[in-house]
Structure 1
């Protein structure tokens, strides 16, 4: 697995790494962001679409990526759900699959530790910090410009939209989201290429991610 071939969910996981702090600080909702990346990539590949307001898979199709194919199989086997339903349903399984995949390919190193000196846990260290730093620079360049949105690649646009909407603070600040709000709208449409159907789908998926993140924040604050 080379850097240029990393899937969208894998790149989003690496964006949770904070270069200045030397550790992962993506926040408690990283599983939602990574799941959104997987759904987005499957949609861009034409393997997920909307049917009657719910997510419908291209049955039997596969990508060759274990993370993406695992999610696609889950969508095939499960009852119909809307985008938000698939963002939250067992989303930590996708996060774990991405971590395992990146570890197997040498991007991460798993260490066994004991919480409170008693309970065994696993901790991940980034082996290839240069890749995370390059991703950070790429996302900020696309978000802030001055490159015209129409010249941004569809995958790059999707990466920025997921990172910003998912509030991956190590790379996109609240100030960035507010300042570049209009550009994020344009990047959302750009992630769909020239397909009107996919453009609408991407808008729905982005809205679902924003809603899921907001709900999780309210729950943590004790408001629901």
Structure 2
């Protein structure tokens, strides 16, 4: 499908020019998804809009790698730039093939596809188990369970430490800062309940800046993605409330 975007004026960045790859082997969207798990139950809990938060995390990582950016309100990819991560590269391909969209639209547009790819990736790497079943004996579904609860507990501790530690924000790892902001904004209530979001509102604002590093453009992008995620979650909650499914807190 031909792209609706104009080719960017800047050349494709080399690996040396791109932002550093986050620590560990898992991308931000993969780690964000794992943060939604209840480690005792072995399943996602208290995160009805986790697909929106996962998509926002993928956008943040692509922005930090400087292969997507906001150009006059349009999320614009660097054409043919790839990361080697299936979740991120799938989203890059979708961005290249799609009509122009802003951050808010990209949070929700086919976000379930990003979530599905994250789950398959985590299952293939042993973080999740995957069991194929049929609902009513007819419809095939895959049930995912948590395999590495210890990893998730450590990840949760790091993110909560960034939010609640009280130390200088400048010493917080940028990944932990981004994950704390996305988990709070995406309302992963098992990790960061509503009271904690309100208590640490100023800290979350500071962590948003920290997650952008030293680049003013990147800080702006992360702030815009955070605002877009918050708006998308509010819209999803309003839709559920109108359908009788209740809102969120």
TM-score calculated relative to the size of structure 2: 0.85
Q: In the alignment, is residue 127 of structure 1 matched against residue 147 of structure 2?
A: yes
After the TM superposition, which of the residue ranges 32-41 and 139-148 deviates more from structure 2?
Answer: 139-148
Aligned to 2:202: 182
C-alpha deviations, 1:137-165, integer Å up to 9, x for none? Answer: 11111100122110112222111111110
Question: What is the CA–CA distance in structure 1 between the aligned matches of 2:150 and 2:243, rounded to whole Å?
Answer: 40
Higher helix share: 1
Local SS of the residue matching 2:232 = helix
Larger radius of gyration: 2
Q: Give the 5 Å matches for 1:44-59.
A: 44-59=64-79
Unaligned 5+ segments in structure 1 are none
- Structure 1 residue 26, shift from structure 2 partner: 4.5
After the TM superposition, which of the residue ranges 157-166 and 111-120 deviates more from structure 2?
Answer: 111-120
Question: What is the CA–CA distance in structure 2 between the aligned matches of 1:13 and 1:205, rounded to whole Å?
Answer: 17
After the TM superposition, which of the residue ranges 208-217 and 121-130 deviates more from structure 2?
Answer: 121-130
Change (3 A) 1:119 1:73: closer
Question: What is the CA–CA distance in structure 1 between the aligned matches of 2:165 and 2:209, rounded to whole Å?
Answer: 16
Local SS of the residue matching 1:60 = coil
C-alpha deviations, 1:57-90, integer Å up to 9, x for none? Answer: 1111111101101101111111110001111110
> RMSD over aligned Cα, in angstroms?
1.6
Aligned to 1:15: 35
TM-score calculated relative to the size of structure 1: 0.94
Verify the 8 A CA contact 1:113 1:123 in the aligned structure 2: yes
Unaligned 5+ segments in structure 2 are 1-22, 245-249
Q: How many residues align?
A: 222
Verify the 8 A CA contact 2:47 2:190 in the aligned structure 1: no
Verify the 8 A CA contact 2:39 2:146 in the aligned structure 1: no
